[in-house]
Amino acid sequence: MSKYYLNHLKELEAEAIYVLREVFAQFENPAILFSGGKDSIVVTHLARKAFYPAKIPFTLFHVDTGHNFPETIKFRDDLVEELGVKLVVGSVERSIQEGRVREETGKDASRNRLQTTTLLDTIEENGFDVCIGGGRRDEEKARAKERFFSHRDEFGQWDPKNQRPELWNLFNGKHHPGEHFRAFPISNWTEMDVWQYILNENIAIPSLYIAHERDVIWRNNTWLPVSEHITIRPEEQMERKMVRFRTLGDITITGGIESDADTLEKIVAEVAAARQTERGNRADDKRSETSMEDRKREGYF
Amino acid sequence: MSETNQNIQLLRFTTAGSVDDGKSTLIGRLLYDSKSIFEDQLDAVKRSSERKGLEHIELAHLTDGLKDEREQGITIDVAYRYFATPKRKFIIADTPGHIQYTRNMVTGASTANLALILVDARKGVIEQTKRHSFIASLLQIPHVIICVNKMDLVDYSEEAFDKVVEEYKEFSAKLDVKDIRFIPISALKGDNVVDKSEAMSWYKGETLLNTLETIHIDSDHNYIDCRFPVQTVIRPHSDEYHDYRGYAGRISSGIFKPGDEVTVMPSGFTSKIKSIDTFNGPVEEAFPPMSVTMTLEDEIDISRGDMIVRTNNKPEAIQDVDVMLCWLNNKGPLPRTKYTLKHTTNEVKAMIKDVLYKVDINSLHRVEDDPEIKMNDIVRVKIRTTKPLLADPYNRNRITGSIILVDDSTNETVAAGMIMNRN
């Protein structure tokens, strides 16, 4: 190979930086949807690179379900302080208190779906015209259809049948007042790319991704973390296990896998050998074959 | 590093074929045989195949993501798939074979290094094959692989394969594609996709996957014409970088080095590159598709939409542009409508002044007496812009030679265009 070539990670990085700069140039009030998960951490790291030596010109925007891993919140606050950026928190708890949404009840109740209302309300309150997300097309079949610049109507809805064609590197972010965009700079990355990149760049991530001892129960085919937000059922038994999480979401729905991968190198090796997708342990995706598509149509990210 | 290979290249390819040519099956087969399918994905496909009462696993279901697509068994929109082997990573732009074929194919083809075109061995080169090949040629995809599929249905006959190859070569002589290869396959049975076919010992070439893994793509970029469209200006205003003024962008083509004399277009001011900066430190050289930040020796007023180029190799600044346009929207253009034209990081107002001819993509003939533009049409037009474009011909530069038109009332991207000349 000639010396003028970029390996796949460098090429993906260059593409993501280009997209982030386009977002900055084409929109008035952008925010990074920051969940504290690895993908939004990588996006934030890329934003740092895109505008270096200037500060990240984006607000960090966290949709807080109120059912967080405490580690995630601490990680978020530390990062915000380090970067010196503004943080906006949309609270699902508040949406419930204000009667904007009703908490689900029943056996597998989750706040996942409620996030959409909080997300859209907070976008409106803050006047964000674009939210940059860490969504990747390899995650889920509905996401495979996603554009880099993804238009949302005034109700925040995604219409997969009426997306703007995206050609070459010409992104069209034009929109009417009230509409907004979602931008996905790491669309073309896979889970493996994200982990290799975190390893190469030595990016800090919450300890939850790394194998650790934790109290868990076996529910819905996964090791669910014991927390104040779940009720242990009579037939369930709390156990102490070495686990780690492949994705991070609401603590009530994020299942862990048994693992002894306690370093980034071991995680990369484990991901390489994985026979299940990373979202295989997310209860929110298992509700129906199209649950992600349905949520995205409503405005979920 | 562990067993996962880091130092590998990315190959972007697009797939084309008519509805029943087995495109989804081929992609499913590539993913399945290269062990890029996770168990839970496979389980989901098994379940939905069973629900439909099928005896075999419908590999095509691996790629149809939307509810409507699975229900109707069709692909509605471009979807992107990923897989990797120890030798390369692949991005597949999976484009639907019908309804809005041209528009979708153009979308998928715009960033592809390679087009994979499926031909049914029983049917040979049909209109659809010609259309897809024409689009691959028009979009200047550097490599084309013709997969002669369903070889199992013609008894794996060498004569049948040769006949298709002959037919295709005769037709493609008119096209502008540099690298065309032919592979006899059966996507359904897996012959010559990932594993070499035992039924076709007469075929001495490589399998499809092996071809994808080894095809030479280093020279797909233009390393000659130095073009750096400025995306944004970086002014940190911090104590440490008080006077820092960097021009952020992505190298479209050419190789830039500190010390190079450059000209800023359209102002025409000349300076020297002081540094090429990245978060990981300054670099000695920048080449496509790197994203970097440049600083110059002199203080020049530069903003988004400007282009930094080599002084002795400049793009032409033109206001009357000859463009091959693919119309993407349901609604055709009304006379004298003004559009926003996007070209690199620049935006200008533009109007279609003249429709020169339409291309009949079945016969490749020019149609000169039909000026009405409809969705999926490919037309050669003259466009007048309010400000000059810093343009290169598309066949020389896919980045600085491409444009899109945006309708100012709906904000929709209505057309994709390729700049044809420097007039």
Nearest chain A residue to B303, by CA: A25
* Tokens 């104040």, located at residue: A228
Q: Do A192 and B244 touch (CB under 8 A)?
A: no
How confident is residue B66, by pLDDT bands cut at 50, 70 and 90?
Answer: very low
CA distance B325 to chain A (A): 13
Q: How confident is the model at residue A107 (pLDDT cuts 50, 70, 90)?
A: low
Which residues of chain A neighbour B111 with C-beta distances below 8 Å? 167-169
Amino acid identity, position A20: L
Closest CA to A35 of A182, A134, A166: A134
Q: Which residues of B touch A6 (CB under 8 A)?
A: 289-290
- Please report the residues numbered 61 through 100 in chain A whose beta carbons come closer than 8 angstroms to any beta carbon of chain B: none
Query: Which pLDDT score is estimated for B65?
Result: 53
- Touching check for A154 and chain B: CB below 8 Å? no
Tally: H helices and E strands in chain B: 7, 19
pLDDT band at B33 (very low <50, low <70, confident <90, very high): confident
Q: Architecture of domain B3-220 in CATH?
A: 3-Layer(aba) Sandwich (3.40)
Q: Which residue in chain A has the smallest CA separation from B12? A: A188
Residues of B with CB below 8 A from A269's CB? 2-4
pLDDT of residue B4: 52
Taking 90 as the threshold, does the pLDDT of residue B348 lie above it? Answer: yes
pLDDT band at B286 (very low <50, low <70, confident <90, very high): very high
Residue given tokens 């140039």 in the structure block: A25
Which sequence spans correspond to the domains of chain B?
3-220, 227-310, 316-419
Chain A residues touching residue B376 (CB < 8 angstroms): none
To 5 degrees, how large is the angle CA A277–CA A280–CA A281? 135
Q: What is d(CA A27, CA A166) in angstroms, rounded to the nearest whole number? A: 17
Test the B interface: residue of A58, A83, A169, A277 with most B CBs within 10 Å: A169
Tokens of A101: 């949404």
The better pLDDT of the pair B67, B232 is held by B232
pLDDT-based confidence at residue A253 (cuts at 50, 70, 90): confident
Nearest CB partner across the interface for A277, out of B40, B290, B291: B40
How much of chain A is helix, strand and coil, in % rounded to 5? 35, 15, 45
- Which CATH entry fits the domain spanning B316-419: 2.40.30.70, 2.40.30.10, 2.40.50.140, 3.40.710.10? 2.40.30.10
Beta strand pairing status for B269-277 and B316-327? unpaired
* DSSP character at residue B191: B
The stretch B267-275 carries a mean pLDDT of 96
Helix, strand, coil share of chain B (percent; to 5): 20, 35, 45
CB contact under 8 A, A268 and B4: yes
Alpha-carbon gap, residue B46 to A161, rounded angstroms? 26
Whether the CB-CB separation of A43 and A133 falls below 8 Å is answered with yes
What pLDDT digit, counting tens, does each position of B83-137 carry? 888 899 999 998 876 656 788 888 889 999 999 999 999 999 988 888 889 999 9
Same topology, domains B227-310 and B316-419? Answer is yes
Q: Does position A238 have pLDDT exceeding 80, yes or no? A: yes
Tokens 């082997």, located at residue: B85
Strands B246-250, B291-296: parallel, antiparallel or unpaired by DSSP?
antiparallel
Amino acid identity, residue B31? L
Q: What pLDDT, on a 0 to 100 scale, did the predictor assign at position B119?
A: 93
Q: Write down the pLDDT at residue B1.
A: 33
CA distance A14 to chain B (A): 5
**Cβ-Cβ contacts under 8 Å, B223 against chain A:** 4
Residue A298 has pLDDT above 80, yes or no: no
Distance, CA of B26 to CA of B151 (rounded, Å): 13
Residue A57 binned pLDDT confidence (cut-offs 50, 70, 90): very high
Strand partners, B14: B93, B115
Closest CA to A43 of A29, A60, A28: A60
Give the distance from residue B150's alpha carbon to the nearest chain A alpha carbon, in angstroms.
27
Residues of A in contact with B402 (CB under 8 A): 167-168, 170
C-beta atoms of A50 and B248 within 8 A:
yes
Answer with the residue of higher pLDDT: A184 or B421.
A184
- Please choose, from the candidates A7, A39, A1, A10, the residue with its C-alpha nearest in 3D space to the C-alpha of residue A249: A39
Say what percent of chain A tops pLDDT 90: 48
Interface test with A, best of B3, B12, B40 (most A CBs within 10 A): B40
Residue-by-residue DSSP string for B49-78: HHHTT-SS--GGGGT--SHHHHHHT---S-
Matching CATH number, B227-310, of 2.60.40.420, 2.40.30.10, 1.10.10.10, 3.40.50.300: 2.40.30.10
> Is beta strand A130-132 parallel, antiparallel or unpaired with respect to A30-33?
parallel
